[in-house]
Amino acid sequence: PGLPGGCCSRGAPSLRALPFLFLVAALLGMLPLLHSHGLQSDPVMASEPPHHYPAVISGNEPGDITAAPLGVSQEISPLPNHSSPGHAKNRKAFPVLGIDYTHVRIPFEISLWILLACLMKLGFHVIPSVSSIVPESCLLIVVGLLVGGLIKGVGESPPILRSDIFFLFLLPPIILDAGYFLPLRQFTENLGTILIFAVVGTLWNAFFLGGLMYAVCQISGTGLNDIGLLANLLFGSIISAVDPVAVLAVFEEIHINELLHILVFGESLLNDAVTVVLYHLFEEFANFEQVTVTDIILGFLSFFVVSLGGVFVGVIYGVIAAFTSRFTSHIRVIEPLFVFLYSYMAYLSAELFHLSGIMALIASGVVMRPYVEANISHKSHTTIKYFLKMWSSVSETLIFIFLGVSTVAGRHYWNWTFIISTLIFCLIARVLGVLGLTWFINKFRIVKLTPKDQFIIAYGGLRGAIAFSLGYLLDYEHFGMRDMFLTAIITVIFFTVFVQGMTIRPLVDLLAVKKKQETKRSINEEIHTQFLDHLLTGIEDICGHYGHHHWKDKLNRFNKKYVKKCLIAGERSKEPQLIAFYHKMEMKQAIELVESGGLGKIPSAISTVSMQNINPKALPVKRILPALSKDKEEEIRKILRNNLQKTRQRLRSYNRHTLVADPYEEAWNQMLLRRQKARQLEQKINNYLTVPAHKLDSPTMSRARIGSDPLAYEPKSDSGNLPIITVDPASPQSPESVDLVNEELKGTSCLPPSPEEDEEGLVMRVKDPSSPGTDDVFTPGAGDSPSNQRIMRCLSDPGPQPEPEEGEPFIPKGK
């Protein structure tokens, strides 16, 4: 208080350290309570003596310890008669107050862990210097390591991330958030590439890694000779899949472009089916005495059952959710619940039959979103969006923290040969798989994947908690090397998250990889996108090629004609897509205007009311369409059927045998031939008229020429009767650039040309411009007589040979 200036000067550092003070306070508060076994203690440690909380003394014997449910039942039992002997009980100083931690232990500890996760996330984003260097996932794993070490340091057993807790409670919010807000256009346009990376790439990684690790185990002196082929293949299937949680955590921070993000993230989502099939397949094969060919074929078919079955379950629940949201207009409060519950039920139903729960969640989110958003209110849409973002963020944070805690708590078996070989072979398999598959994919892609893109795809193959949880599910009875597998899995996870996750940002900047551009969609962009879609669909129909644009158009027509009418309530089912997008853009701009405080600048009487709460009571006036009679309508349809071209008729191929003969085709061909001959004539004439002048002879040669023939070089005085070549300066390259005018007189008079006229040469004059709208090639003019055509043919013949009809050259030499 005495130094206010000093306190103010140190205010900024204290604010930055505030999240860490919260963390220290939370940890200190958890210390006396952390002897609980968290989510689950390690089964290996089950033989250790259990740690008990402070005893709750019952009325039977002093020192008896009762569990929380028993204590509760005793509290609600009838009060004993204290006046009778044998029922003496210690009096409390305050009869109402007491400590009963066992009653609130589980929810209290869950709340503490969530609070710890939120404080860590807050501290990470408050200090920008840390977030710019270290990814958030790396920092959360470090926090988990510190918390696990602190819990173990005080003599307690740290909690371990149990597999059922991970798969049933922590993973679904992350996958639902990714599936519900999946960029559907980029995903469908690159679906073939994503499926190749997810299916073929994962199979390649699993068998390549499992085969090489089996070869390593056969080396004598490594101590790994007891690990068979099936165990190595099972380990390869666990460690080969790219983790969606780790990819989301890293790729959202570096803001990579949409193509690379959807390729890597889509691969991490769709490879779940391959991972589930291979995991359960090799786990079952490990119990068999002999694996037959029938078992292998059934295992191959089970991949299609698991993947397509998960998609089918998700589609069913998505349609049910969309249909339910049609009737929620009178009770808007429960609208978000239907989205969460139906999605979670889809995941649980898929897991019930060992189908792919991740693909069921993605399918349900993709199917229900367009119809649910058309039915629910804007407030419900905002609730769904932020609730999903919140729970996915909290789940992701808890997963990485418990990875660090479980690393400290679990039992490990370190084998240098096995772990280093696993790490090296994982990197080699990923690089070779991406290079080979990209070489094949680029043969069919219009937008090729560049070497920079291939490097980012290979470098972004991160492993995460899914591999750890699958390894934790292994049974000690059939897999005695479980501890060594878990140690190798954790090593690969830490290497990919720390090394690759921390270096991918500077590598992206160094390679100048294109990043995501934050641009707002406009109505102009939407119009042009739909126009190009319709144009490409029409081109495919005309060519007889049924590509993905054709099937996309078919699906949109079916959706508009049948599905929308069943799943969307009211007039929204008939609203065009462009109008719906325009309404969405208007609402978004209005909300941004309200949040920015710009509504007060607009002269309006409702400037203080949020535009989200405005419900116009007056119904919009419908546009009055002119009523047509049935006869008139049928007449219009008949005219359209008879005159419009049927573009959707099925043709075998686009060739000359399947086209209808055109009666004017021969006339058009004759016209094209005439034009071609006119162009050839134009080219020949231009070549002769544009020949450069001869070089001047030397004085000796000039005197010799004049001496040999003085009359040939004597200047002529009379040039009035010379033949004239008129040149059009506006278009010197056109076929009408040469017009022999005075030769018509020579053609009408049947007299042969006089020698004097022939010796006078040619005079160049400018031609008058032709009137607009006339065709100078096909319209006969004044100079199109046979004599003029004869002269033009002679001029166009460069050879010394005369014409077949003529006996002497066109311009004879002087006699």
Instruction: Report pLDDT for 621.
Output: 55
Looking at every residue in the chain, the average pLDDT score rounds to 75
* Number of domains present in the structure of the chain: 2
**pLDDT per residue as tens digits for the range 263-281:** 999 999 898 888 888 988 8
Is residue 618 included in any domain, yes or no? no
Instruction: Report pLDDT for 327.
Output: 92
Claim to verify: residue 312 and residue 346 sit in the same structural domain: yes
Where among 550, 568, 587 does a domain terminate? 587
Output the six-digit token pair for 801: 């040979």
Q: Would you say residue 168 has pLDDT above 90? A: yes
**pLDDT per residue as tens digits for the range 619-649:** 555 555 567 787 888 888 777 777 665 544 4
**pLDDT per residue as tens digits for the range 527-580:** 888 889 889 888 988 888 888 888 888 998 899 889 988 999 877 777 777 787
Instruction: Report pLDDT for 458.
Output: 93
Strand pairing report for 724-727 and 763-766:
parallel
Claim to verify: residue 235 and residue 381 sit in the same structural domain: yes
**pLDDT per residue as tens digits for the range 312-347:** 999 999 999 999 999 998 999 999 999 999 999 999
Claim to verify: residue 312 and residue 411 sit in the same structural domain: yes
The mean pLDDT of 194-209, rounded to a whole number, is 94
Claim to verify: residue 498 and residue 539 sit in the same structural domain: no
The mean pLDDT of 465-493, rounded to a whole number, is 88
Is residue 813 included in any domain, yes or no? no
Higher pLDDT, 706 or 230: 230
How far is residue 136's CA from residue 264's CA, in Å, rounded to a whole number? 19
The mean pLDDT of 402-410, rounded to a whole number, is 89
Higher pLDDT, 812 or 43: 812
Claim to verify: residue 238 and residue 335 sit in the same structural domain: yes
Instruction: Provide, rounded to the nearest whole percent, the portion of the chain with pLDDT above 90.
Output: 27
How far is residue 354's CA from residue 272's CA, in Å, rounded to a whole number? 12
The closest alpha carbon to 483, from 417, 422, 426, 407, belongs to 407
Claim to verify: residue 355 and residue 418 sit in the same structural domain: yes
Where among 571, 587, 603 does a domain terminate? 587
Strand pairing report for 739-740 and 724-727:
antiparallel
Output the six-digit token pair for 669: 């061909």
Instruction: Report pLDDT for 776.
Output: 47
Where among 520, 554, 587 does a domain terminate? 587
How far is residue 547's CA from residue 225's CA, in Å, rounded to a whole number? 53
Output the six-digit token pair for 511: 């390679």
How far is residue 447's CA from residue 528's CA, in Å, rounded to a whole number? 20
Is residue 657 included in any domain, yes or no? no
Read out DSSP for 301-326? Answer: HHHHHHHHHHHHHHHHHHHHHHHHGG
Is residue 687 included in any domain, yes or no? no
Domain boundaries, position 572? 530-587
The mean pLDDT of 674-686, rounded to a whole number, is 84
Instruction: Report pLDDT for 586.
Output: 80
| Other CB atoms within 10 A of residue 384 CB | 23
Is residue 184 included in any domain, yes or no? yes
Higher pLDDT, 301 or 666: 301
**pLDDT per residue as tens digits for the range 232-258:** 999 999 998 899 988 988 888 888 888
The mean pLDDT of 763-767, rounded to a whole number, is 47
**φ, ψ for residue 374 (rounded to 5)?**
-75, -20
Instruction: Report pLDDT for 449.
Output: 92
Name, in order, each residue with C-beta under 8 angstroms of 240's C-beta and a sequence gap of 6 or more.
202, 205, 206, 209, 275, 426, 429
How far is residue 599's CA from residue 81's CA, in Å, rounded to a whole number? 71
pLDDT interval class at 454 (50, 70, 90): very high
Q: Would you say residue 117 has pLDDT above 90? A: no
**pLDDT per residue as tens digits for the range 278-313:** 988 888 888 788 888 888 898 889 889 999 999 999
Is residue 256 included in any domain, yes or no? yes
Claim to verify: residue 172 and residue 266 sit in the same structural domain: yes
Output the six-digit token pair for 74: 């005793």
How far is residue 197's CA from residue 266's CA, in Å, rounded to a whole number? 9
Claim to verify: residue 184 and residue 332 sit in the same structural domain: yes
What's the pTM?
A: 0.65
Residue 113 gets the label, from left (phi > 0), alpha (psi -120 to 50) or beta, of alpha
**Adjacency order of strands within the sheet including 763-766:** 739-740, 724-727, 763-766
How far is residue 567's CA from residue 326's CA, in Å, rounded to a whole number? 6
Claim to verify: residue 553 and residue 477 sit in the same structural domain: no
Distances (CA, A) of 445 to 69, 98, 251, 450, 589: 63, 71, 24, 12, 37
Is residue 413 included in any domain, yes or no? yes
Is residue 240 included in any domain, yes or no? yes
Claim to verify: residue 577 and residue 505 sit in the same structural domain: no
How far is residue 483's CA from residue 471's CA, in Å, rounded to a whole number? 9
Q: What number of residues does the chain have?
A: 815
Name, in order, each residue with C-beta under 8 angstroms of 501's C-beta and a sequence gap of 6 or more.
135, 137, 138, 246, 249, 250, 462
Claim to verify: residue 340 and residue 392 sit in the same structural domain: yes
Could you tell me the CATH number of the domain that includes residue 204?
Answer: 1.20.1530
pLDDT interval class at 12 (50, 70, 90): very low
Claim to verify: residue 480 and residue 342 sit in the same structural domain: yes
Read out DSSP for 382-414? Answer: HHHHHHHHHHHHHHHHHHHHHHHHHHHHS----
The closest alpha carbon to 456, from 499, 417, 414, 507, belongs to 507
Instruction: Report pLDDT for 710.
Output: 62
